[in-house]
Structure 1
Amino acid sequence: MSEHASQNAAHAQTPVRLDEVDRKILSLLQEDASLSLDQIADRVGASKTPVWNRIRKLREAGVIRRQVAILDPEALGLEACFFVLIRTSEHEKDWAARFLKALRERPEVIEAHRLAGDIDYILKVQVRNARAYDRFYQSLIAEVRIHNVTALLSMEEIKNSTALPIPEATL
Structure 2
Amino acid sequence: MDELDRKILSELQSDASRSLEEIAAAVGSSRSPVWNRIKKMRDSGVIRGQVALLDPDAVGCGTCFFVLVRTSSHEKDWQDRFLQAIRRRPEVLEAHRLAGEIDYLLKVRVPDAKGYDRFYQALIADVSIFNVTALLSMEEIKATTALPI
Q: TM-score range by the shorter chain?
A: over 0.9
Deviation string 1:84-135 (CA, Å, 9 cap, x unpaired) is 0000011111111111111111100011000011000000000011111011
1:46 maps to 29
Q: What is the SS of the residue equivalent to 1:112?
A: strand
* Aligned residue among 122, 128, 138 for 1:155: 138
User: Which amino acid letter does the alignment assign opposite residue 116 of structure 1?
Assistant: A
**What displacement does 1:60 show?**
2.2
> Stretches of 4+ moved more than 2 A in 1?
none
1:130 maps to 113
User: Which amino acid letter does the alignment assign opposite residue 22 of structure 1?
Assistant: D
User: Which amino acid letter does the alignment assign opposite residue 114 of structure 2?
Assistant: R
Q: What is the SS of the residue equivalent to 1:41?
A: helix
**What displacement does 1:33 show?**
0.8
Say whether 1:140 aligns with 2:123. yes
User: Which amino acid letter does the alignment assign opposite residue 100 of structure 2?
Assistant: G
1:82 maps to 65
Say whether 1:105 aligns with 2:88. yes
| Unaligned segments of structure 2, at least 5 residues | none
The percentage of counterpart residues that share the same residue type is: 70
**What displacement does 1:61 show?**
2.3
Aligned residues: 149
**What displacement does 1:77 show?**
1.8
| 2-structure distance, mates of 1:86, 1:120 | 6
Q: Give the alignment of 1:29-68 within 5 angstroms.
A: 29-68=12-51
CA RMSD of aligned residues (A): 0.8
| 2-structure distance, mates of 1:79, 1:36 | 31
| 2-structure distance, mates of 1:57, 1:76 | 34
User: Which amino acid letter does the alignment assign opposite residue 151 of structure 1?
Assistant: A
| Unaligned segments of structure 1, at least 5 residues | 1-17, 167-171
**What displacement does 1:165 show?**
0.4
User: Which amino acid letter does the alignment assign opposite residue 130 of structure 1?
Assistant: A
Query: What TM-score does the superposition give when structure 1 sets the normalisation length?
Result: 0.85
